[in-house]
Structure 1
Amino acid sequence: MLDAQLDLFTAGGRDVAALRERWTTAAVDRPVIWSYGGGVQSAAIAVLVLRGELPRPERIVMADTSREASATWAYLEDVVQPALAGGGLRVEVAPHELATKDLVSTDGRPLMPVYTRQAEDRQRSGKVGQMRNFCSGEWKRDVVRRYVRQLGYGPEGRSELGPVVNWLGISRDEAGRMGGDRRKWIVTRWPLVFDRPTTRAECLELVAEAGWPRPPKSSCWCCPYRSDAQWRELREAWPEDWARAISLEAELRRRDSGVYLHRSGVPLGEADLGEGCHQAEDLPCTSGQCWT
């Protein structure tokens, strides 16, 4: 099964031998820290843990990006936390204060993959570019790692509790998004790829079998990867989040008038969010930290 999963990467030019060695030699006796993502795959992992089909993690940690969609928090508090509590588990929240950068990097670039019309050739051609994604690492991966260090885990001989395995909720059909932490003391593992291979569609089936409502597709309310349908839902169902996104974009554009949250390259409040426009599948986030 492992070889079959690793074959998914070969076309991407990854060092499969190195990946196999790293993922199979993660000490089985290491405690598991599950990075809860708040979406479909994370809900499915919760179901599988409660059913005994995945081992119980030592801790469950969710990074507070300070911009997580209200729908994600509502599902966590109303559905997941009560269910986990019945099994003696709970999701701990790593505070956003553990992030060392917020909206912009040290050189002034936005951390989010905002769309841009800055370059002169784009001004003439009307083409819209997109900046790189740094927010997932800064707001999620690094925050969880620092929180785990505060709990006492870390390098062998330099921490009270030692190294860990870190679960991330990428499903089998999205295995191309896998990308782990390079630190030796925290080995990333994807239980829905290796331990209990499960697709996103099967995750939804697991959640339905548990009698839970359909989870939201987790993301920040300001995420530029949102589809038009998701922007419309935010505007109509969560108007406070929509207002926050409008306000944040305005703040970013005061710094740089050539950046936008919507891929049409116009301010979000002016963007055409009509039916049948950009769908979520067209907007991939490859960070491996979000949409889980």
Structure 2
Amino acid sequence: MNEINPKPEYWVLSLSGGKDSTALGLEWLARHKTDPVTYPLHEVVYCDTWMEFPAMMEHINQLEKIFMDAGIKFTRVQNPKSFDWFMFEYQPKRHNPELQDKKGQSWPGPQARWCTAELKTRIINRYLAHLREEYTVIQLIGLAADEEYRLEREHNQNPEHRHPLAEWGWTEADCLKYCYSHGFDWGGLYEIFHRVSCWCCPLQSLEELRNLRKHFPDLWAKLLDMEHRTWRTFRADYSVDQLEIRFAFEDERLAAGLPINRTREFMTELRKRLAEAEPQK
């Protein structure tokens, strides 16, 4: 850095739209209005991954208006190539010769989270790199006080990040309560899901996928269609078709007053149903 003419600081709120970044953004903005020197804020950056819940997009629209009405620049960034393009069309160089003819990245997974890299991290970093040509960028990150592991990693890797929620002692529960008290409820998404991320994420728990099927049948139908258009199984333990069989089986048992816990009887009958649905070779 040029010590004679240092780059001016430029404070950016990284907004995911979830409860933590929303609580941080609203509270920081309130403090900024009364004390802009202590709580500077120049821009809010939101990255659209193409696969957000409709209620999340409505939430982002609300926040955009609030920040813009306060005179804060609000920027949406997005990879011009969609999630569908990466999943079904993109053909990267593959090290495994058995996958050479496969089309698309297919489903992301724990060892290949291409969605985060291609649709979020690289897009945000590219935009911030442009800002850093002119400014010293300080990022406000919505990590709550009870996310100790993530905070420790952040402190070690990203010294330009600030974590006000942790400094204020706000937990994830505090953030959700704060948002609810300010009239933000995401159309009830946090009553259904523990975390609100992309609706098609294979890393969701079985309970969250069960709730997706129950509360969002239109999105569940899209998930089934996506499964039929790609070559990798949705999860290591279940395809979407198999999950449909399992959840329908659970519905039958619940209607009959039978338990759906992992008893030997339940799992034996489930395996039987899954086997019956397998195509005959």
TM-score relative to the length of structure 1:
0.62
Change (3 A) 1:59 1:264: same
Structure 2 letter corresponding to 1:141:
T
CA distance in 2, matches of 1:170, 1:277: 34
Counterpart contact for 2:139–2:160, Cα < 8 Å: yes
1:60 corresponding residue in structure 2: 44
Instruction: Please tell me whether residue 93 in structure 1 is matched to residue 76 in structure 2.
Output: yes
Q: Within 2, Cα distance between the matches of 1:166 and 1:277? A: 45
Higher helix share: 2
* Kept in 2: contact 1:95–1:143 (CA 8 A): yes
Matched residue of 1:193: which SS? helix
One-letter amino acid of the counterpart of residue 43, structure 1:
T
For residues 190-201 of structure 1, the aligned pairs below 5 Å read 190-194=163-167, 196-201=168-173
Q: Letter of the aligned partner of 1:147 in structure 2?
A: Y
- SS of 2:147's equivalent in the other structure is helix
Q: Which of 39, 47, 54 is the equivalent residue of 2:18?
A: 39
Q: Give the equivalent residue in structure 2 for 1:138.
A: 118
CA distance 1:224–1:264, change in 2 (3 Å): same
> Residue 268 of structure 2 aligns with which residue?
none
Are the aligned partners of 1:234 and 1:241 in contact in 2 as well (CA < 8 Å)? Answer: yes
Note the alpha carbon deviations across 1:9-28, whole angstroms, 9 max, x for none. xxxxxxxxxxxxxxxxxx99
Distance 2:25 2:176 in 1: 12
TM-fit CA distance, 1:206: 1.2
The reply on whether 1:222 has 2:200 as its aligned counterpart is yes
Structure number with greater CO (CA < 8 Å, separation at least 6) is 1
Once the two structures are superposed, what CA deviation does each residue of 1:218-272 show, in whole Å capped at 9, x if it has no partner?
Answer: 311211122334324433443443233223333332xx3xx214x6323255253
Report deviation, 1:110.
Answer: 4.3
Aligned residue in 2 for 1:73:
57
The residue that corresponds to 1:16 in the other structure is none
Q: How far did 1:111 drift?
A: 7.6
Aligned-residue Cα RMSD (Å) equals: 3.7
Aligned length in residues: 222
Determine if contact 1:165/1:189 at 8 Å carries over to the other structure: yes
Aligned to 1:169, what secondary structure does the other structure show?
coil
Q: Which amino acid aligns with 2:144?
A: S
User: Given residue 168 of structure 1, which amino acid in structure 2 is its aligned partner?
Assistant: I
Structure 2 contact 68–74 (Cα < 8 Å) conserved: no
Q: In structure 1, what residue type is equivalent to 2:150?
A: R
- Between structure 1 and structure 2, the one with the greater Rg is 2
* Alpha carbons of structure 1 residues 188 and 266: separation in structure 2 relative to 1, 3 Å: same
The CA distance in 2 between the partners of 1:106 and 1:62, in whole Å, is 30
Find 1:246's aligned residue among 216, 219, 224: 224
In 1, Cα distance between the equivalents of 2:246 and 2:135? 51
- Unaligned residue ranges in structure 2 (runs of 5+): 1-5, 33-37, 190-194, 252-259, 263-281
Shift of residue 136 of structure 1? Answer: 1.8
In the alignment, the residues of structure 1 paired with residue 238 and residue 120 of structure 2 have an alpha-carbon distance, to the nearest angstrom, of 26
